[in-house]
Amino acid sequence: MTLAKDYDSVMGRSNEIMKEALGLDYNDFEKGGVKFDYEALMKSTGYTLDEVAKIQAKTAVGNTPLIELRNLSKLTRKYAKPGYGARIFAKDEAANASGSFKARRAACAVAHAKKLGYKGVIAATSGNYGAAVASQAAMQGLECIIVQECYDSRGIGQPEIVEKARKCEAYGAEVIQLTVGPELFYTFLSVLEDTKFFNASLYSPFGIAGVETLGYEIATQCRELLGKDPDMVICTNAGGGMMTGTARGLIKAGAVDTKLVAASIDLTGLHMASDEQFNKKSCTTGHTGFGVPYATDPDHSDVPRSAARPLRYIDEYVTVTQGEVMYMTEALANLEGIERGPAGNTALAAAFSLARELPEDAVIVISETEYTGAGKHIQPQLSFARENGIEIKFGNPQEEDKPGINIVLPKDPSFVQHKVADVNHFRNRLINKAVKKAGVDPKDLKADDIEFLAVETKTDEAFVKKALGL
């Protein structure tokens, strides 16, 4: 029987498509009400941390260097009170095959697809993950298709996204480029169904298990170099996978006292699914347009239950501006001799500000740097912004920044300043969205539902009840 391929029919078969494309039945983890067994989902990969590390080592992934940014650390001290200005270290994930931390996610997922006998892999992504999946597929001898949200209705794509498509194609992948809108996941599901390929999802347990090695390495390298755990780890936050995996790896290494900070570029006011506003942003990831909705509603991804659940681990959420990230990208190149892509430097901009609040002997680790070049460089991004009517100027980003209107570069390093977001507001939103989505009256929640929501938000029973008005 020929299956109907209209939008509603394909979306209605999403659970069945995902089950076949992942080899996982997500119903096995549901426990009724709002809760599901997250740890059982993570264990369903069947791989230990050591086994994941061995998989990654075979394909040039992992064991990346931890680099002290001495000159940037010194610069922070010029703008901090005496005795303050923490040491900043960067986990140089650009050293991975394909040039970003996403290679860790892809290595585990693609190796599992190979093990299960799939002929190919598919991923829906506009970013570094597509290149990572394509790279790993080439190493494993598998076919690869990347479904990419690339253009606005005029057929114009952002330089960064176009560059990532080029990189995917260089690794031999087929890239299906789409305009912004709801067709992304429809097309993704339809191609999955037609090809019978493996869903190398960013949000599967295989992907998140791959990132755990990143957190584990941060802890062990800090102990080897410094004799202690990092005081703070800052993760650029978009879909939540880096924060989730890094945190889980740190915990497995015993670094339970390390403060975990999520950092996103503040693009408040720009709608990510708006055709008009799609090209009004410069950095295509690491911003609040992904970071906030995926934190507060992680299960609106391409799998029934996302393994990326950042609010389980976040201690603090901060935001920076596009101008500050671009400024710190230039500072990293000029002062440290390390040229990396802007999106990965979101955490660096936050670290430069947060370091001024910590003593000189404190250690901050930013969890990612990413490759740069072509459209990923700040110059084509700024040129693209000008072409779209965005004003570029120097000033005070925190006071003058207006996403979609301007990009404000700091007039000196002291104007790189993070803002603290209300993480409790995000926690409240997750709790209420989860209960609403489950179709449960808050008054009918059971004790284990309350406990689940407390773990989901790194809070307690009292917080959950207050959020629900109980």
For the segment 249-262, what is each residue's pLDDT rounded down to a tens digit? 999 999 999 999 99
Q: Which of 189-203, 204-218, 349-363 has the lowest mean pLDDT?
A: 189-203
Which tops the pLDDT comparison, 23 or 225? 225
Q: Is 158's pLDDT higher than 90? A: no
Here the tokens at position 75 are: 């610069």
pLDDT at 343: 78
Q: Is 23's pLDDT higher than 90? A: no
pLDDT at 139: 97
pLDDT at 28: 93
Runs of H (alpha helix) within 58-147: 70-78, 102-116, 128-140
pLDDT bin (cut points 50, 70, 90) of residue 266 is very high
The DSSP secondary-structure symbol of 312 reads G
Contact status, residue 150 vs residue 178, Cβ threshold 8 Å: yes
Contact status, residue 277 vs residue 270, Cβ threshold 8 Å: yes
pLDDT at 376: 86
Runs of H (alpha helix) within 278-421: 288-296, 322-336, 346-354, 378-387, 397-400
Name residue, tokens 């072409």. 387
Contact status, residue 406 vs residue 391, Cβ threshold 8 Å: yes
Query: Which amino acid does the sequence have at 297?
Result: D
Q: Is 361's pLDDT higher than 90? A: yes
pLDDT at 304: 86
What letters, b where the CB count within 10 A reaches 16 and e where it falls short, cover 65-98? ebbbbeebbebbbebbeeebbbbbbbbbbbbbbb
Q: Is 127's pLDDT higher than 90? A: no
3-state secondary structure of 283: coil
pLDDT at 346: 95
- Separation of alpha carbons 247 and 171, rounded Å: 30
- Separation of alpha carbons 222 and 6, rounded Å: 53
pLDDT at 275: 77
- Separation of alpha carbons 418 and 289, rounded Å: 17
Nearest alpha-carbon partner for 348 in 224, 243, 265: 265
Bridge partner residues of 408 (DSSP): 393
Mean pLDDT of the region 197-224: 96
For the segment 319-338, what is each residue's pLDDT rounded down to a tens digit? 999 999 999 999 999 999 99
- Separation of alpha carbons 86 and 363, rounded Å: 6
Global confidence as pTM:
0.95
Mean pLDDT of the region 303-310: 94
pLDDT bin (cut points 50, 70, 90) of residue 286 is confident
Mean pLDDT of the region 174-199: 89
Which tops the pLDDT comparison, 123 or 303? 123
For the segment 133-157, what is each residue's pLDDT rounded down to a tens digit? 999 999 999 999 999 988 888 888 8
For the segment 57-88, what is each residue's pLDDT rounded down to a tens digit? 999 999 999 999 999 999 999 999 999 999 99
Q: Which of 61-75, 319-333, 374-388, 455-469 has the lowest mean pLDDT?
A: 374-388
Averaged confidence pLDDT in the chain: 93
Q: How many other CB atoms are found less than 10 A from the CB of residue 182?
A: 10
- Separation of alpha carbons 156 and 153, rounded Å: 7
pLDDT at 1: 54
Percent of the chain at pLDDT exceeding 70? 100
The three state secondary structure string of 417-460 is CCEECCHHHHHHHHHHHHHHHHCCCHHHCCHHHHHHHHHHCCCC
Percent of the chain at pLDDT exceeding 90? 76
